[in-house]
Amino acid sequence: MNSGPVPHTRKWPWHGWLGAGLAVTFWILNWTLSGPRTHWGFFPMWLGYCLTVDALVFKRKGDSMLTRSPAAYIALFFLSVPAWWLFEVINWRTQNWYYVGEEHISDIEYFLLSSLSFSTVMPAVFGTAELAGTFLRMKKINRGPALTLTPAVLLSLFIAGVVMLFLLLAWPIYFFPFVWLSLYFMLDPLNVWLGNRSLLQYIAHGDWRPVIALWAGCIVCGFFWEMWNVYSFPKWIYRIPFFDFLHIFEMPILGYLGYLPFSMELFALYHLTTGFIGIRKFQDYIQVSPGEDKRI
């Protein structure tokens, strides 16, 4: 890895034009065509979003996820698929969302096209988080409270995650919000124990900027997910107990809070997976902390 300065052209990169073209073209198609179309139009639309955001990051800071390592960027799409399927599996128990129109495609098509769509989740969230980190206001955030990572603290966090997952699966109608908390509490202590990169390492130094950047990135992605979903077909519909009011698009307003810990779970899942399969050179690839300038 090289942390030294690299000359940047700061020109709008070619993949930014490609991304903008894909996003606009498939946004129009997704909202104007009749009949089932989102199952094949979702991926190119969100690929366009990912490439456009990556180009914005490159324009603002001189490098980006794609330009740092095309191989790592492509791998991110593959790692994203099982990450989101994990939440789909949990949703079989909680039933907090379902898909209208999936009956128009076969089970094989549903699995393959859904997996292709799920592949854009991590690139979209991490790319938008890195973009958020380029803004001066983010860089100027002062240090916050620090958490000392003693063995007892790490074990307590892990046990809390296990308890939350148990409550979620046992009584989903009451504890369904834990789907966006339990995995993080379990996985990030594991990352510390296994020597993987973790958000807890930043929090231990009082540096909450990576967390805030992830929150900002995921909220922006959440807005586009919910907005583009409105006129999609197939589309998802929510069933949220107790809080199903004040909708912004299909999502109840309080549901957007789930995007905050969800971004942290994605970060923990990415680093646990890359550590487990032995590609530790990708551990420093995701740059969500303002001022980070590490390259593979």
pLDDT 10s per residue in the chain (296 long)?
344 344 445 789 999 999 999 999 999 999 999 999 999 999 999 999 999 999 999 999 999 999 999 999 999 999 999 999 999 999 999 999 999 999 999 999 999 999 999 999 999 999 999 999 998 787 788 888 999 999 999 999 999 999 999 999 999 999 999 999 999 999 999 999 999 999 999 999 999 999 999 999 999 999 999 999 999 999 999 999 998 899 999 999 999 999 999 999 999 999 999 988 877 678 788 888 776 655 44
- Residue 74 structural domain: 14-282
* First vs last C-alpha separation in the chain: 5
Quick one: which of 133, 8, 19, 5 has its CA closest to 63? Answer: 8
The pLDDT of residue 259 is 96
Residue 140 lies in a domain: yes
Quick one: which of 155, 183, 163 has its CA closest to 268? Answer: 183
Residue 50 lies in a domain: yes
Residue 7 lies in a domain: no
Amino acid at 69: S
Residue 32 lies in a domain: yes
Tokens of 58: 């490159």
The pLDDT of residue 278 is 75
Residue 293 lies in a domain: no
Sign of CA pseudo-dihedral 31, 32, 33, 34: positive
Residue 8 lies in a domain: no
Residue 5 lies in a domain: no
Specify the DSSP class assigned to residue 13: P
The pLDDT of residue 53 is 98
Helices (H) and strands (E) in the chain, counts: 13, 4
The pLDDT of residue 32 is 95
Tokens of 117: 């769509």
Residue 287 lies in a domain: no
Q: How many domains does the chain have?
A: 1
